[in-house]
C-alpha cells in the first residue's frame, strides 16, 4: 500500500499539467511540482491554504473572481452534482502577473457518491499560444517573399488552384497578369543591388496599390510578378494591364545618381475552364514575352492577339 501511495505521488508530481487537490472544506492538501513551475508558488506556500483565501485569485475571461461570493467551482460541483467543470481562467503568478490557463476540475467521490474533494488540473496556455504563433509565423514565412512582403510563387500557385476550383464550381472568371521588370540586370549594374532591391519593392507595392483589395499580387521569382484579378471581364484585360504599366512607369526611385525609372512588360489572360495552374501561367508568360519582343513596356493579352 505504501508502494502504491509513493507511486501515485511520483506520477502526480511528474504530470505535464499542474495539479492541486482540495478537500471538502476547501483546503488545498496537495500541490504538484508542475504547479510550482507554472505559478512560482511552492507547495509549502500553498498547502494548507483555503481556496476562499484566493491566493491564486482565479478570474474568468471577463475578470470576475471565481473563488468569491459562492462562485467557486467546488461549490458548483457540490450543488449541481457534476463530476467535472472546465474553463479558461486567469490565475495569479507569485510575481503578480496573470497567467492564462485551462482549468479542469474533477469531482472526487467516495463509494457512496459523496464529494470528498476535487482535483484541479491546469495547463499554461502561453505555451500553446506561442506554439500556434510559431506555426503561423513559419507558415507566413514559407508563403511570403522576404524582400517585398508579397506572397511568393508557392502562395501564388495555391491561390491560382483555388480560383480555378471556384471558377469550375461557381463560374467566377478571373484574370492573370504575368509581369517582368524590363532591363533589370542593367538596373543592378548601373545603380547597384541595393537600389535593385528597392526597385522590386517599389514595383511590387505599385502593382498591389493599383488593384482592389480583393485582388492578389505575388512575386513569382527574380524580377517577375503575378497578379490575380477577380471577376474580370476579358474586355478589361488591356485596361487593367495598362493602368498597372503606366503607374509603374511613373514611379521613379530616387537614388544618389538621379531617379531610376523602370518599366514592365506584361502578359494578360483570362482563365479558361480547361486550364490548369501550369497552362494558365504558361499562357500569361508567353504573352509577356510577346511584349518583350515588340519593344517592352507594353501589355499583350488574349484580347490584343485576337484584335
Q: Which pLDDT does position 193 carry in this prediction?
A: 95
Q: Which pLDDT does position 2 carry in this prediction?
A: 52
Whether the CB-CB separation of 151 and 140 falls below 8 Å is answered with no
Q: Which pLDDT does position 135 carry in this prediction?
A: 63
Q: Which pLDDT does position 158 carry in this prediction?
A: 92
pLDDT in single tens digits along all 307 residues of the chain: 454 456 677 778 777 788 888 888 888 899 899 889 888 899 899 898 887 666 777 777 677 776 655 455 555 555 556 687 787 888 888 888 888 888 888 888 888 878 888 888 888 877 666 666 666 666 667 889 999 999 999 999 999 999 999 999 889 999 999 999 999 999 999 999 999 999 999 999 999 999 999 999 999 999 999 999 999 988 999 999 999 999 999 999 999 888 999 999 999 999 999 999 999 999 999 999 999 999 999 999 987 654 4
Q: For residue 106, what is the DSSP state? A: E
For domain 144-306, give the CATH superfamily. Reverse transcriptase/Diguanylate cyclase domain (3.30.70.270)
Q: Where are the domains of the chain?
A: 2-129, 144-306
Query: Taking the CA atoms of the chain, what radius of gyration do you get in angstroms?
Result: 32
Supply the residues annotated as catalytic. Answer: 223
CATH class of 2-129: alpha beta
CB atoms within 10 A of CB 297: 18
Q: What 3-state DSSP class applies to 197? A: helix
**Nearest of 18, 186, 38 to residue 30 by alpha carbon:** 18
Phi, psi of 298 (to 5 degrees): -155, 170
Phi, psi of 114 (to 5 degrees): -80, 140
Q: Which pLDDT does position 307 carry in this prediction?
A: 44
Q: Residue 90: CB partners within 8 Å, gap ≥ 6?
A: 58, 59, 60, 61, 63, 98, 99, 100, 101
Whether the CB-CB separation of 107 and 83 falls below 8 Å is answered with yes
d(CA 140, CA 212): 22
Q: Which pLDDT does position 138 carry in this prediction?
A: 65
Amino acid at each position: 500500500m505504501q508502494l502504491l501511495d509513493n507511486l501515485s505521488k511520483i506520477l502526480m508530481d511528474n504530470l505535464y499539467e499542474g495539479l492541486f487537490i482540495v478537500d471538502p472544506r476547501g483546503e488545498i492538501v496537495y500541490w504538484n511540482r508542475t504547479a510550482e513551475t507554472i505559478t512560482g508558488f511552492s507547495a509549502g506556500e500553498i498547502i494548507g491554504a483555503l481556496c476562499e483565501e484566493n491566493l491564486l485569485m482565479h478570474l474568468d475571461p471577463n475578470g470576475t473572481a471565481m473563488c468569491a461570493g459562492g462562485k467557486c467551482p467546488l461549490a458548483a460541483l457540490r450543488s449541481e452534482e457534476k463530476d467535472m467543470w472546465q474553463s479558461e481562467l486567469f490565475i495569479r503568478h507569485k510575481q503578480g502577473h496573470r497567467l492564462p490557463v485551462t482549468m479542469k476540475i474533477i469531482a472526487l467521490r467516495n463509494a457512496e457518491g459523496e464529494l470528498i474533494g476535487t482535483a484541479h488540473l491546469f495547463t499554461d496556455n502561453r505555451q500553446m499560444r506561442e506554439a500556434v504563433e510559431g506555426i503561423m509565423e513559419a507558415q507566413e514565412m514559407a508563403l511570403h517573399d522576404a524582400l517585398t512582403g508579397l506572397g511568393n510563387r508557392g502562395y501564388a500557385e495555391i491561390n491560382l488552384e483555388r480560383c480555378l476550383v471556384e471558377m469550375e464550381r461557381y463560374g467566377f472568371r478571373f484574370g492573370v497578369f504575368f509581369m517582368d521588370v524590363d532591363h533589370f540586370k542593367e538596373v543592378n549594374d548601373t545603380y547597384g543591388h541595393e537600389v535593385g532591391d528597392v526597385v522590386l519593392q517599389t514595383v511590387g507595392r505599385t502593382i498591389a496599390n493599383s488593384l482592389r483589395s480583393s485582388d492578389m499580387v505575388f512575386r513569382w521569382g527574380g524580377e517577375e510578378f503575378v497578379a490575380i484579378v477577380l471577376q474580370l471581364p476579358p474586355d478589361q484585360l488591356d485596361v487593367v494591364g495598362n493602368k498597372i504599366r503606366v503607374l509603374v512607369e511613373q514611379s521613379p526611385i530616387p537614388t544618389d545618381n538621379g531617379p531610376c525609372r523602370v518599366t514592365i512588360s506584361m502578359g494578360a489572360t483570362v482563365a479558361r475552364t480547361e486550364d490548369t495552374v501550369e497552362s494558365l501561367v504558361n499562357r500569361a508568360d508567353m504573352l509577356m514575352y510577346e511584349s518583350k519582343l515588340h519593344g517592352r513596356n507594353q501589355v499583350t493579352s488574349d484580347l490584343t492577339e485576337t484584335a
